[in-house]
Amino acid sequence: MNKFVEVIDLKKMDYKEAWVFQEKLFQETLSIKSNNFRSGTSMSTPNSFLFVEHPHVYTLGKSGHFENLLISDEKLESIGAKFYKINRGGDITYHGPGQIVGYPILDLENFFTDINRYLRLIEEMIILTLEEYDIKAERSKGETGVWLDVGTPFARKICAIGVRASRWVTMHGFALNVNTDLGYFDYMIPCGIKDKAVTSLKVELLRRGTIFDEQTLMEEAKEKVLKHFLNLFEASIYEKTEAEASI
């Protein structure tokens, strides 16, 4: 089993452009698996982990409800945001500057064949990351994602998760609010859940008077997320050879 993962930081990229790139990697892996099945060969399938930061955008999962977007096309344009209906699970979510978005394109047959376990490990990756900032994050029963103060009137979501999987190959992923402008969540019902708020790492740190540089916080949190991902999935970073890097 191939437990090497190529880590690609796409930096700041339009949502649709990143979606097309995801689909390319996703379909390439499915193609290898199909060819292995037809020919009886066992060519190794790749694993990738994409980091990206999107301009303002709302995305609606295939099981989502359009009415959870609370603004018109004209208002979307006026706030500089786009909208896409996409092929992941879940309802509506927001991506924007100051948010760490991660898209693991994994062949789970290289790790384990259990989608529920996959989702729980992605949650655990975020929970462990926030623990390093002395923030107690947790799961909320029946609601995928990572939350704070679950079971209280102050429950709030800090990380959304929505994935697609076919033949054990994953795409889409998670969005961790770091320095995110939370005002953009006012234009939607996050994940279709009406009675809970959203928060960010920045807001939680400021509440206790922690001083930080926003860009440094983004890069630091990204490194912590990757560290916990590799540990939880017992994976190693795939380093391209010089010949591969020049292609």
Residue 159 designated active-site:
no
3-state secondary structure of 157: strand
**Chain Cα centroid distance, residue 119:** 11
pLDDT of residue 91: 85
pTM: 0.94
* Contact by Cβ (8 Å): 145, 197: no
Domain boundaries, the chain: 4-34+41-52+98-181+193-240
* Contact by Cβ (8 Å): 201, 133: yes
Q: What is the CATH number of domain 4-34+41-52+98-181+193-240?
A: 3.30.930.10
pLDDT of residue 241: 59
189-241, pLDDT tens digit by residue? Answer: 865 566 679 999 999 999 999 999 999 999 999 999 999 999 999 999 998 75
**Mean pLDDT of all residues in the chain?**
93
Q: Active site residue: 191, 217, 218, 225, which one?
A: 191
Our CA angle for 10, 14, 20, nearest 5°, is 75
| Strand 156-166 versus strand 197-198 pairing type | parallel
Neighbours of 13 (CB within 10 A): 17
What is the rounded end-to-end Cα distance, in angstroms, of the chain?
25
